[in-house]
Amino acid sequence: MPIPPRPAASPGSGSERTGIDRRMLLRSAAAAALLAAGGCAGGDEDEVTFFFQARPEEARARLLIIDEFHRRRPDIRIRTIMSGPDPLQQMLTYCAGGKCPDVLMAWELLYAGLADRGVLADLGEFLDRDPAYADRLRADGYAPLRDTFTWNGGQYALPEQWSGVFLYYNRKLLAEAGIRPPVRWSDAWGFSEFLTAAQALTHRDADGHTSQWGFVDAWVPYFSAACFGMNNGAEWFSPPVRPVRTNIGDPRFTEGLQFYADLAVRHRVAPSVGDRQSVSAQDLFRGGKAAMLLGGHWLYSEFTGREDLDFDVTVLPVGPHGGPGAITDVGSTGLAIAAASPRREQAWEFVKFATGPEGQALIAASGLFVPVLRSAMASPGFTAAHSAVRNLEVFTEGPAHSRQLAVTPRWGKVESLLERGCNRVLRGAAQADSLAGQTAKDIDEVLGAAV
């Protein structure tokens, strides 16, 4: 699950934190039951414990990997531990009590804090023992994903899936409007072209009520806005890994962020913050009341197989100072090993399997994740699992066009400042260039303390 772990918001709450969504609770309960039914629960001290967060569909994919690993290595048993809504705090609690899971799911935005605390083992220890395998993994993988989990010169996790963010679109609605979106990251459309398309796809009735939105957002709005800023030629943080400053005040970044905000505030081709409180972006898209939706691969299983929804995917738009190709968020999760694990060798065998060619081939064929190895991406199983998509290059080329948002142990404090400042812009209460003032200064002070 590539969305940064945080207390889950209700589907219509936009970017506000309003507690745990009932549907998420039910899904978590169903996933826990599924895993227990799969025979992975138990208390054997010789078992390797695996901590992760997943929806029920994702849990099933992980069980496939675990079952295949058991078949190949019956001497190593895996016991799963399902995460609650705040996995970072849960992991810290486990580890403080001396019961840190052996294998831990690692998130792009959060793992650095664990690495800094000495919770995670440097996997370079294992890779150095098998240089041939390490070279093979490096050649088959994608540098942006691998480097995301490199901290202080160590490899603290290996990527296991890519999600990124891109645009889902309703084929029928775009065809009726005569719109042909790009099919590759290298051939992106511009901001003005995207806005024109969104305007043509937005319909209102005689009373001015919107019956069809041109664009909706199923991700965290200020993260999405940041991707628009990055696609206008500016990094969000410099450097992205262990940043020393934010570029939120860079005119190119603020121009992109303002463009995103204006889609709702000025042009009214996207729901406002108030509109988002009444219905989720996914429901609008599924119901044919939204033509384009921003989200990641985690939504693919929700849209595929529906007879009433003919969809495809395209890339994010590029601003006048960006390009020529579009970029996206890394959106990757990885697998890490606890530094204090008494079963490090067994844990490594599982991590090596899940992130290597065999495990990645299973991920590719599941259709629930995008693999992180080129060989798995090019496999017939991945193509078959995504038969609903014609523009498959959006997935297969996505990892190479990914950029990190920010990797810092101070992310929690940085995010709080970003949320407060960016949400004022997204509500139309301030202009994006206002972030160059106190918000940027406060963030830089926090980052300075982390260096």
Q: Are 331 and 108 in contact (CB under 8 A)?
A: yes
Q: Where are the beta strands (DSSP E) in 47-151?
A: 48-52, 78-82, 103-107, 150-151
Task: State the Cα–Cα distance between residues 451 and 447, nearest whole angstrom.
Answer: 7
Look up tokens 């991590």; give the residue.
351
Q: State the pLDDT confidence band at 451, using cuts at 50, 70 and 90.
A: low
**How many secondary structure helices (H) and strands (E) does the chain include?**
21, 17
Mean pLDDT for 301-329 is 95
- Chain mean pLDDT for the chain: 89
Mean pLDDT for 321-341 is 95
- How high is the pLDDT of residue 96? 84
Q: Are 351 and 123 in contact (CB under 8 A)?
A: yes
In degrees and rounded to multiples of 5, residue 131 shows phi and psi of -60, -30
At 266, list the tokens. Answer: 């000025």
Mean pLDDT for 232-243 is 95
Rg (CA), the chain: 21
- How high is the pLDDT of residue 16? 36
Beta bridge partners of 338: 120
* CA distances to 13, 21, 117, 134 from 317, in Å: 25, 31, 38, 36
* pTM to 2 decimal places: 0.89
Which residue did the predictor score with more confidence, 56 or 8?
56
Task: State the Cα–Cα distance between residues 436 and 309, nearest whole angstrom.
Answer: 42
Q: State the pLDDT confidence band at 4, using cuts at 50, 70 and 90.
A: very low
- How high is the pLDDT of residue 288? 96
Task: State the Cα–Cα distance between residues 107 and 329, nearest whole angstrom.
Answer: 13
Per DSSP, 45 falls in state: T
Surface-to-core class of residue 154, CB atoms within 10 Å of its CB (0-12 exposed, 13-18 middle, 19+ buried): middle
Mean pLDDT for 153-179 is 97
At 330, list the tokens. Answer: 């890394």
In degrees and rounded to multiples of 5, residue 53 shows phi and psi of -115, 140
Q: What torsion do the CA atoms of 279, 280, 282, 288 make, to the nearest 10 degrees?
A: 20
Helix spans in 106-206 (H): 111-116, 124-129, 131-140, 143-148, 171-176, 191-200
**pLDDT of 50 above 80:** yes
In degrees and rounded to multiples of 5, residue 227 shows phi and psi of -65, -35
At 219, list the tokens. Answer: 């991700």
Of the candidates 301, 401, 232, which has an alpha carbon nearest to the alpha carbon of residue 61? 301
- Kindly report the number of other CB atoms within 10 A of residue 304's CB atom: 15
Task: Tell me the Ramachandran region of residue 152: left when phi exceeds 0, alpha when psi lies from -120 to 50, beta otherwise.
Answer: left
**pLDDT of 223 above 90:** yes
* CA distances to 38, 61, 64 from 79, in Å: 10, 15, 14
352-400 pLDDT tens trace: 999 999 999 999 999 989 999 999 999 999 999 999 999 999 999 999 9
- How high is the pLDDT of residue 172? 97
Which residue did the predictor score with more confidence, 57 or 220?
220
Task: State the Cα–Cα distance between residues 75 and 312, nearest whole angstrom.
Answer: 43
Task: State the Cα–Cα distance between residues 96 and 109, nearest whole angstrom.
Answer: 21
- How high is the pLDDT of residue 400? 96
417-441 pLDDT tens trace: 999 999 999 999 999 999 999 999 9
**pLDDT of 220 above 80:** yes
Helix (H, G, I), strand (E, B) or coil at 326: coil
- How high is the pLDDT of residue 2? 52
**Minimum mean pLDDT range among 12-21, 120-129, 310-319, 340-349:** 12-21
75-114 pLDDT tens trace: 999 999 988 888 888 888 888 888 899 999 999 998 999 9
Look up tokens 């950029």; give the residue.
403
**pLDDT of 5 above 50:** no
**pLDDT of 42 above 80:** no
- How high is the pLDDT of residue 20? 32
The angle formed by the CA atoms of residues 406, 411 and 415, to the nearest 5 degrees, is: 95
- How high is the pLDDT of residue 450? 58
56-85 pLDDT tens trace: 888 888 899 999 999 999 999 999 998 888
- How high is the pLDDT of residue 60? 84
- How high is the pLDDT of residue 11? 30
Which residue did the predictor score with more confidence, 41 or 301?
301
Helix spans in 231-277 (H): 251-265, 273-276
- Kindly report the number of other CB atoms within 10 A of residue 384's CB atom: 11
- How high is the pLDDT of residue 95? 85
Q: Are 116 and 150 in contact (CB under 8 A)?
A: no
**pLDDT of 186 above 50:** yes
Look up tokens 């970044």; give the residue.
253
**pLDDT of 14 above 60:** no
Q: Are 240 and 403 in contact (CB under 8 A)?
A: yes
